[in-house]
Amino acid sequence: MLATALSASIAGVDGVPVRVEVDVAFGLPGLTIVGLAGSAVLEARERVRAAVRNSEFVVPDRRITVNLAPADLPKEGTGHDLAIAIAILVASGQLDGDRLPGTALIGELALDGGLRPVPGVLALVAAARVAGARSIIVPAGNAPEAAATTDVAVHPADSLRAVVRHLAGVEPLVAVGPPGPTTDDGEPRLDAPDLGSVVGHRVARRVLEIAVAGRHNLALSGPPGVGKTLLARAAAGLLPRLEDDEADEVRRIHSVAGLGERPTGSLHRPFRAPHHTISTQALVGGGPRIRPGEASLAHRGALLLDETLQFRTDALDALRGPLDSGRVTIARVDGVRALPARFMLVAAYNPCPCGWAGVDGHVCGCEDGTRRRYQARLSGPMRDRLDLHVPLAPVATGMRGLREPSAEVARRVGAAWERQRCRQGRANSELDADVLDARHGFEPRLLALLERRGRQLGLSLRRLHRAARVARTIADLEGSSDVTRDHLDEALLHRPKEAVA
Amino acid sequence: MRGVGRTGPLGESASSRTDVDGRSSERHHWIALSLVPGIGPATFWQLIERYGSATEAWRAGPDALIPLTRVAPEAPVAFMQLHGQRPRVMAERVESRTTAAGGRVVTALDTGYPKALLTLDPRPPTLYVVGDDAAFDERAVAIVGTRRASGYGLSVATEIGHDLAEAGVVIVSGLALGIDGAAHRAAVEAGGRSIAVLPSPIDRIYPPRHRALAKRLVSENGALVSEIATGGSVGRPDFARRNRLIAGLAEAVVVVEAPDRSGALLTAAAAVAIGREVHAVPGPITAMASRGCNRLVADQQAAIVTSSAGLLRQIGLAGGARPPAARALSEVEGQLLNRLLERSGSLEELVDRTRQQPSSVASALSLLEARGLVSSFGGATFHPTLAARRLTKVV
């Protein structure tokens, strides 16, 4: 007999619907799983056998073939266990399959028949929905995460028996509703220091504001203890809330990465700050199952590289792709996979190993060669992708400071984001070069000035375009629809310059 | 203080006495005196100093030379030979020859005398000019170098000539083969002006190969200028005079490529002697053609040029439209510059010192940087540049 159940699998950061087909036939007894099943999936044989037996059902002594369709898509993970078990029961006549169509089954089976949570359930649920499922059965442990999905009924279950009883109509599982409207409006982030606690650094605050307002890549450099990390982390507190569609995207990615602890309904933008010893794969993603890396976890948010120059050089270089395109592209034999990774980069580093190069009144104690080698770790191409740079110096005693709290700055930043959204639907940092036109507030006179500045300052076209985008953000912060020469000049002043000799 | 329009011994303005009235005027005497072989600028001005006017000096005759210092040995005899002629006749003869050659005689008494030369001491009393007067009113930079230029030298000369010309600067050079020619050409190709200082009279273009180039310079609103009287007997080209005049007409001299003992180095030396900036383009240490320039830099006689843009910044030029000598700064920018002239500082410090908003200080500072008036040299502290210091010393 033949039976089919609906399930889903993870490919990259997305879910893909999977049809579990089970055929019970005469022949040498055995359970075979086909369909490019990975090792964890193949082990389902043992899990399913034990779980079925311990749930007081029987795995028939027949030739059982399980096919996971589409058969040319590699299947990973343990989430198909439940679907396989149910399909076997239906195919062997132990369960009536009437209620099976339109229901997706997701979950790992314990040997005792219990249902265990799996990572990426959001993506799996989304995939099932796309495949036409109207109800999805998930492990109880995944219920909070899965519940965020709307317009499909999510039924948590804790055992195979419970699922069977539900499908038999004997004891339906309770559906969980979607959570109420997001509850953390205006809740302060716990991971971000408040700008109000930063003394001085008026220029750095201003540039930080500009950077976050336009999602421009920012570099903070300076001697140890000057406040680079403090300011960099304060940026987290300035990021506006996620839009609903962005929130879904972010939740899905974090779910696939197994970070299900992201509270459902959280609209905080991701702020990732990996340690500099991180591997390239963990930073940009990859591995045999193409798991998302920090770059993807920072999607729609910010990625802080504290001690940038201590990161592995190939890890830093691997970031060039996402910085340009907003995607991590991983090429494999069976095709090219793209993981979303559109983030704002914040780099914080010392100008040299001793930390004092280029600081007025201080002498760098490093050897020339050492300093140059250190600075070369931030390669030219990487430096090229930075939009803003603030060299920080120790705050002089007695410096007056505004001590404006983050909430005030965040308000201005939020207004600027809104203007960008209304005008062009994206952040200024995501604009192409051919967008330097009147529609975006660039009058011909300003473009002529831009060209002249390029010649006066010896700047490349790429650098000029970046400055133009920053100028557009400065104009947005001011609420001006036109970009003026003051905006452009300020943007140019904060451009990253060549390393200190 | 010698200058155009100085009053004569009778208190009247010298220039007012240039009208021909049948008798030789001061201007005629002036020209005649400068025509005497052996009476160069140094001797000429000594005479004026002593006798108050060219007329009086002429009247005093060869004896006038006796109490003077460093007089060329041929001068007294030559003066004696010419003393019999009437100055008016002498002057009119050279003027008609000059006009026939397409030029005009410009004396230090005339209003058309190049203002740049006013700071040259002693300056040529009489010049022979073809072309546009106005070319002498603009900012000028000299580009000089060897006749036997390499491809590197020619390309650098072309690039610098082009960029300077685009910035509205007049290119001054000696019309020589090699670097000079490349610089002149680049200037006119860029739509700018160029002045060629000749080591020969204006009716005898030297080198002959550059006759067409000389014509082109003139037709593109440039000028040819010489200290040597038109129609004089054919002598050897006077490179020393020419080099000094090149340096005098420019605010800065750029030596692009020069081996040891090149004439261009004499131009650099002349420039240093009269207080003009010298810039030198370095070359490989294995290149003979660059030894002179490298030595200038090593001996700290010249500022090193590492890029055309860098040179423009050093000279204090805003690229683009032709700028006047000192383009007006806004009040904010001026104040900021003054603060930096007092003491260099980072943007953060300036914000603190001026108590302004970071955004307005940043945009003003950025403008100063673009104008080449301040530079951070890649670091966080901004310093005023040479151009800024010069700007604030403008009388």
Closest-CA distance of chain B to residue A467, Å? 12
Q: Which of B345, B359, B370 sits opposite A457 (nearest CB)?
A: B370
pLDDT of B16 > 60? The answer is: no
Q: Which residue of B has its CA nearest to A454?
A: B370
Would you say B146 and B265 are in contact if contact means Cβ atoms under 8 Å apart? no
Q: Which has the higher per-residue pLDDT, A437 or B114?
A: B114
CB contact (8 A) between residue B346 and residue A391: yes
pLDDT of B3 > 80? The answer is: no
CB contact (8 A) between residue B362 and residue A490: yes
CB contact (8 A) between residue B364 and residue A399: no
Q: Is the pTM of this model over 0.80?
A: no
CA B99 to chain CA mean position, Å: 24
Q: Which of A360, A492, A494 sits opposite B381 (nearest CB)?
A: A360
What value does the mean pLDDT of chain B take? 85
Selection from B159, B151, B127, B352 nearest residue B223 by Cα: B127
State percent of chain B over pLDDT 90: 42
Work out the number of other CB atoms within 10 angstroms of the CB of residue A431: 18
pLDDT at B222: 94
Question: Is beta strand B140-144 parallel, antiparallel or unpaired with respect to B252-255?
Answer: parallel
Q: Using one digit for the tens of pLDDT, what is the confidence trace for A70-101?
A: 988 888 889 999 999 999 999 999 998 888 89
Q: Which of A393, A452, A474 sits opposite B348 (nearest CB)?
A: A393
pLDDT mean over A284-296? 87
pLDDT at A365: 79
CA A312 to chain CA mean position, Å: 21
Q: Which of B348, B360, B379 sits opposite A202 (nearest CB)?
A: B348
Which residues of chain A lie closer than 8 angstroms to B160, CB-CB? none
Q: Which has the higher per-residue pLDDT, A74 or A184?
A: A74
Would you say A412 and A209 are in contact if contact means Cβ atoms under 8 Å apart? yes
Q: With cut-offs at 50, 70 and 90, classify the pLDDT of residue A174.
A: confident
Q: What is the dihedral of CA B210, B213, B217, B218, to 10 degrees?
A: 80
Q: Which of B344, B348, B359 sits opposite A490 (nearest CB)?
A: B359
pLDDT at A454: 87
Q: What CA–CA distance (Å, rounded) separates B39 from B34?
A: 6
Q: What CA–CA distance (Å, rounded) separates A332 from A28?
A: 37
Closest-CA distance of chain A to residue B351, Å? 8
Half-sphere exposure of A138 (CA within 13 A, CB side): 31
CA B126 to chain CA mean position, Å: 15
Q: What CA–CA distance (Å, rounded) separates B205 from B214?
A: 8
Mutate to test the interface with B, among A456, A470, A484, A487 (most CBs of B within 10 A): A456
Instruction: Please list, in sequence order, all residues whose beta carbon lies within 8 angstroms of the beta carbon of residue B26, skipping any fewer than 6 positions away.
Output: B8, B14, B17, B18, B53, B54, B55, B109
Mutate to test the interface with A, among B322, B340, B348, B375 (most CBs of A within 10 A): B348
Q: With cut-offs at 50, 70 and 90, classify the pLDDT of residue A465.
A: very high
Q: Which residue of A has its CA nearest to B377?
A: A500
CB contact (8 A) between residue B362 and residue A499: no
Alpha helices (runs of H) in A6-147, residue ranges in sequence order: 39-42, 44-54, 81-91, 121-130, 143-146
Rounded to the nearest 5°, which phi and psi values hold at A30?
170, 160
Selection from B168, B169, B165 nearest residue B189 by Cα: B165
Would you say B80 and B55 are in contact if contact means Cβ atoms under 8 Å apart? no
Task: Provide DSSP, A125-148.
Answer: HHHHHHTT-SEEEEEGGGHHHHTT
Q: List strands edge to edge, sheet with B381-384.
A: B345-346, B381-384, B374-375
Burial of B394: CB neighbours in 10 Å, binned 0-12, 13-18, 19+: exposed
Which residues of chain A lie closer than 8 angstroms to B356, CB-CB? none
Which residues of chain A lie closer than 8 angstroms to B349, CB-CB? 393, 396
Q: What CA–CA distance (Å, rounded) separates B145 from B263?
A: 8
pLDDT of B95 > 90? The answer is: yes
Q: What CA–CA distance (Å, rounded) separates B334 from B371?
A: 12
Q: Which residue of A has its CA nearest to B355?
A: A400
Q: What CA–CA distance (Å, rounded) separates A339 from A330?
A: 8
Q: Which of B320, B365, B378 sits opposite A493 (nearest CB)?
A: B365
pLDDT at A386: 94
Q: Which has the higher per-residue pLDDT, A68 or A188?
A: A68
CB contact (8 A) between residue A489 and residue B349: no
DSSP helix/strand/coil, B367? helix
Task: Name the interface residues of B facing A (CB cutoff 8 Å).
Answer: 307, 309-310, 312-313, 318-320, 344-349, 351-352, 355, 358-360, 362-367, 369-372, 376-381
Residue type (1 letter), B362 = A
Instruction: Please list, in sequence order, all residues whose beta carbon lies within 8 angstroms of the beta carbon of residue B53, skipping any fewer than 6 positions away.
Output: B8, B9, B14, B26, B29
Q: With cut-offs at 50, 70 and 90, classify the pLDDT of residue B17.
A: very low
pLDDT of A469 > 60? The answer is: yes
CA B220 to chain CA mean position, Å: 19
pLDDT of B295 > 50? The answer is: yes
Residue type (1 letter), B186 = A
pLDDT mean over B299-313? 90
Q: Which of B310, B320, B380 sits opposite A393 (nearest CB)?
A: B380
Report, in angstroms and rounded to the nearest whole number, the Rg of chain B calculated over CA atoms: 23
Q: Which of A206, A396, A485 sits opposite B358 (nearest CB)?
A: A206
Mutate to test the interface with A, among B367, B376, B385 (most CBs of A within 10 A): B367
Selection from A447, A357, A494 nearest residue B369 by Cα: A494
Residue type (1 letter), B91 = A
State percent of chain A over pLDDT 70: 93
CB contact (8 A) between residue A489 and residue B367: yes
pLDDT mean over A114-142? 89
Q: What CA–CA distance (Å, rounded) separates B74 from B221?
A: 38
pLDDT mean over A51-76? 91
First to last CA, chain B: 17
Would you say B184 and B224 are in contact if contact means Cβ atoms under 8 Å apart? no
For A108-234, list the strands marked E by DSSP: 108-109, 115-116, 135-139, 153-157, 218-221
pLDDT at B72: 87
Closest-CA distance of chain A to residue B63, Å? 58
Q: Which residue of A has its CA nearest to B356?
A: A202
For B192-261, list the strands marked E by DSSP: 194-198, 223-226, 252-255
A-B contacts at Cβ under 8 angstroms:
96
Q: What CA–CA distance (Å, rounded) separates A432 from A439?
A: 13
CA–CA distances in Å: residue A207 to residues A31, A202, B340: 63, 9, 22
CA dihedral sign, ordered A292, A298, A300, A306: negative
The total number of residues shown for chain B amounts to 395
CB contact (8 A) between residue A456 and residue B371: yes
Which residues of chain B lie closer than 8 angstroms to A392, CB-CB? 348
Q: With cut-offs at 50, 70 and 90, classify the pLDDT of residue A220.
A: very high
Structure tokens of A173?
Answer: 């599982």
Least confident of A178-192, A365-379, B353-367: A178-192
Q: Which of A392, A455, A501 sits opposite B319 (nearest CB)?
A: A455
Q: Which residue of A has its CA nearest to B307?
A: A458
Residue type (1 letter), B384 = P
pLDDT at B353: 84
Q: What CA–CA distance (Å, rounded) separates A470 from A466?
A: 6
pLDDT mean over B142-152? 88
First to last CA, chain A: 77
Mutate to test the interface with A, among B332, B344, B366, B376 (most CBs of A within 10 A): B366
CB contact (8 A) between residue B363 and residue A400: no
DSSP helix/strand/coil, B182? helix
CB contact (8 A) between residue B358 and residue A202: yes
Burial of B354: CB neighbours in 10 Å, binned 0-12, 13-18, 19+: middle
Closest-CA distance of chain B to residue A228, Å? 15
Question: Is beta strand B223-226 parallel, antiparallel or unpaired with respect to B126-131?
Answer: antiparallel
Q: With cut-offs at 50, 70 and 90, classify the pLDDT of residue A196.
A: confident
Q: With cut-offs at 50, 70 and 90, classify the pLDDT of residue B234.
A: low
pLDDT at B198: 94
Tokens 């893909």 correspond to: A16
Q: Using one digit for the tens of pLDDT, what is the confidence trace for A439-449?
A: 888 888 888 88
CB contact (8 A) between residue A204 and residue B381: no
Structure tokens of B141?
Answer: 């930079």
CB contact (8 A) between residue A486 and residue B309: no
What value does the mean pLDDT of chain A take? 87
pLDDT of B96 > 70? The answer is: yes
Q: Which has the higher per-residue pLDDT, B393 or A453?
A: A453
CB contact (8 A) between residue A486 and residue B358: no
Q: With cut-offs at 50, 70 and 90, classify the pLDDT of residue B19.
A: very low
Q: Which has the higher per-residue pLDDT, B320 or B121?
A: B121
Q: Using one digit for the tens of pLDDT, what is the confidence trace for B46-93?
A: 999 899 999 989 998 888 888 888 888 888 999 999 988 899 999 999
Question: Is beta strand A344-349 parallel, antiparallel or unpaired with respect to A218-221?
Answer: parallel
CB contact (8 A) between residue B363 and residue A486: yes
CA–CA distances in Å: residue A288 to residues A18, A74, A298: 20, 11, 21
pLDDT at B15: 45
Least confident of A361-375, B6-20, B93-107: B6-20
pLDDT at B12: 45
Mutate to test the interface with B, among A490, A495, A497 (most CBs of B within 10 A): A490
pLDDT of A153 > 70? The answer is: yes
Structure tokens of A478?
Answer: 């001011």
CA–CA distances in Å: residue A138 to residues A113, A120, B4, B270, B289: 14, 12, 100, 91, 82
Q: With cut-offs at 50, 70 and 90, classify the pLDDT of residue B118.
A: confident
Which residues of chain B lie closer than 8 angstroms to A498, CB-CB? 378
CA–CA distances in Å: residue B354 to residues A278, A493, B341, B346: 44, 17, 14, 12
Work out the number of other CB atoms within 10 angstroms of the CB of residue B269: 17
Tokens 């679907």 correspond to: A83
pLDDT at B8: 45
Report, in angstroms and rounded to the nearest whole number, the Rg of chain A calculated over CA atoms: 27
pLDDT at B143: 97
pLDDT at A66: 94
Structure tokens of B258?
Answer: 């020069």
CB contact (8 A) between residue B379 and residue A204: no
Q: What CA–CA distance (Å, rounded) separates B24 from B30?
A: 10
